[in-house]
Amino acid sequence: MLFAVLFTDIANSGELRTQFLQAHIEWLEINKAIILIGGSLRLDLRETPKGGLWIAQANSKEQLDKIIKTDPFYIAGLRQSYEILYWSKSNSQRKELI
C-alpha cells in the first residue's frame, strides 16, 4: 500500500534539525525500500523547514509507525506530530523519476 506521511516539527528547532540531518539522511537511505520519497516542507526557501513529507510503501500504518520511531529526527525529539495517510496515485500506470 502507498502512504503519504506528513510531519510537523517543533517550532524553532532548526539547530536540532541541523544536528541530526546527516544521521536522518543516512537512515532514509537504509530504509529506501519503504520510504520512496522524502523531503522537508517550508513556507519560504530561505526558512527553516516546518516539517516533512514522505511517500512510502508499506504493508500497514502500523509498520510505518514502527519505522518512524526509529528515525533519528523522531528519536531526537524534532517531530511535534505526524499523520499517516493512505495515498492513491491518480494514474497508476505513470512512473515518474524525481
Alpha-carbon span 78 to 25, nearest angstrom: 14
Q: Exposed, middle or buried, 36 (CB in 10 Å: 0-12/13-18/19+)?
A: middle
Domain of 67, CATH number, reads: 3.30.70.1060
Digit-by-digit pLDDT tens for the chain (98 residues) are: 999 999 999 999 999 999 999 999 999 999 999 999 999 999 999 999 999 999 999 999 999 999 999 999 999 999 999 999 999 878 777 766 55
- 26 inside domain: yes
DSSP 71: S
Place of cell 546527516: 22
What is the extent of the structural domain holding 10? 2-86
CB atoms within 10 A of CB 70: 11
Domain count, the chain: 1
- 54 inside domain: yes
- 98 inside domain: no
Question: Which pTM value belongs to this model?
Answer: 0.89
